[in-house]
Amino acid sequence: MHRTVRNGLIAAFIFVLLPICVVLDHQFGDHLRQYIQQSTYPDGDWQKYHNKTFTVVEVIDGDTIDINISDGKHPNTRIRLIGVDTPETKHPTVGLMYYGPQATEFTTSLALGKQVTVLLDTAGDQRGYYGRLLAYIQLPDGRVINAELVKNGYGYAYLSYPHSEFSNYQSLMKEAIDNKVGLWKNATRDDLPKWLRSKRPDLLRHP
């Protein structure tokens, strides 16, 4: 192909086709990714869990719950709430963190014994490092536990991995900090997890 023609085609793609592709992805990308995911993994997590209702049978800590459906060799499925991190209560090396028990109690009061809807996310992985299902958990009244934890100061917006509510949860955390709700009322910088201190060196750093 002649170099002039080739360069013209490249320029046409950059200035004409690429913006069209961006617009189409913005409008239809989520639906297309969802369709591909469902078609590729018809018997996988999406078909099994997404937008389906289960009972919460145990609350492990503020950001981890079990629902009443088997997962491989396990009698229940363990879910790590996506987009939020709550203070540890049972971590083998970190131990008990400030406001960890309160976060666990909050999630327990919202979820234990309740019928909840599991919502998976197309923006990231469906399983975490330990094999736990990553999901948003919607309560019968429409509230999402993940957002409620951040909004009420029982957890932090998790900034290490992408997800669909990334910007929203950052805004919810800022409001919680500004309003000094939950752990943000009395927490010191040393009370924050190491990952958050690294990502947000400005938080609770007083002159």
Catalytic residues: 80, 88, 132
> What is the distance between the alpha carbons of residues 162 and 116, in angstroms, rounded to a whole number?
23
Tokens 């690294």 sit on residue: 198
Long-range CB pairs of 170-179 (<8 Å, 24+ gap) are 172/147, 175/151, 176/150, 176/151, 176/152, 177/203
What are residue 77's phi and psi, to 5 degrees? -100, 125
CB 77 within 8 A of CB 66: yes
CA separation, residue 110 to residues 16, 77, 158 (Å):
50, 18, 20
Where in 33-100 does DSSP place strands (E)? 52-61, 64-67, 77-81, 84-85
The one-letter code for the residue type at 5 is V
What 8-state DSSP symbol labels residue 4?
A: H
Closest CA to 163 of 84, 107, 49, 87: 84
> What is the distance between the alpha carbons of residues 207 and 198, in angstroms, rounded to a whole number?
18
Q: Where is 64: in which H helix or E strand?
A: strand 64-67
